[in-house]
Structure formats: C-alpha cells, structure tokens
C-alpha cells in the first residue's frame, strides 16, 4: 500500500484539533484515495479538497511563510482544474494574513474568487 512522505504527518497531525472528528488515518486515507490533495512546501504542508467550482483548504501545518508561499501554486492549479473559488477553514487570525491576497471572511471561512 502506498504511503505519504513521513514529514506530512509530522507537519499536519498537530493541526487536527483535539475535538476534531477526523484522525490522521482519515486524512491519510483521503489523500491516498485521491479525494484530498497534499501540497508539500518548505517545512509545511496543506491538504485541500475539491468541490464543484471550488478548492477548499482543509488542513495546514508547519512554517507560516512556507504556507503563504504555497498559496499562488494552489490558486493557479485550482484555476487550471476549473475552480472559481478558494475557501479556507481557519481561525479568525488568518483573516489578517490573507486579506492582502484578496481573501475575505464569509461565515466561518475565508473566501477568494479566482
């Protein structure tokens, strides 16, 4: 059975909240079944999911500058895949970080039209 790079778990598992309904096994299964996408960067990792017309950033962990550096690649790939919107499930503190890149809070998520 294929497996993920070892650093993916080390980077992403701490991002799973203690009360989260998902475990690392769930995250790994979604990536390996191609229902979620793993993006590895410099000391960071992001997991996205595709829905009709959008890509959703579901989980992220590691170095903040690395996470921000992955943003353009994810957005461009999402456009190629036909997505019109990016959403990010994140804490309110992320608003300040992503506002300069065109994201705005919509309900409990950040959103950007591509």
**SS3 at position 88:** strand
For the chain, give every domain's residue range: 6-113
- Supply the DSSP symbol for 99: G
Q: Indicate if the pLDDT at residue 110 is higher than 90.
A: yes
Fold classification of 6-113 is Aminopeptidase (3.40.630)
Question: Residue 2 above 80 pLDDT?
Answer: no
Cα-based torsion angle of the residue sequence 47, 113, 97, 73 in order, rounded to the nearest 10 degrees = 50
Alpha-carbon 108 to chain mean position: 15
**Average pLDDT of the chain, as a whole number:** 92
Read off the pLDDT of residues 66-104 as tens digits, 9 standing for 90 and up.
999 999 999 999 999 999 999 998 788 889 999 999 999
Question: Do the Cβ atoms of 48 and 57 come closer than 8 Å?
Answer: yes
pLDDT of the residue at 93: 84
pLDDT tens per residue, range 44-59: 999 999 999 999 999 9
pTM (2 decimals)? 0.92
pLDDT of residue 94: 87
Gap between the Cα atoms of 92 and 35, Å rounded: 27
């Amino acid at each position: 059975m294929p497996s993920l790079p070892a650093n993916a778990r080390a980077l992403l598992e701490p991002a799973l909240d203690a009360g989260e309904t998902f475990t690392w096994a769930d995250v790994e299964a979604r990536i390996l079944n191609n229902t979620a996408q793993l993006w590895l960067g410099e000391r960071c990792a992001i997991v996205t999911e595709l829905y009709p017309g959008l890509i959703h950033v579901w989980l992220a962990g590691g170095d903040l500058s690395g996470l921000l550096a992955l943003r353009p690649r994810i957005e461009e790939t999402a456009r190629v895949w036909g997505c019109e919107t990016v959403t990010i499930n994140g804490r309110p503190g992320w608003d300040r970080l992503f506002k300069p890149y065109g994201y705005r809070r919509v309900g409990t998520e950040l959103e950007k039209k591509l």
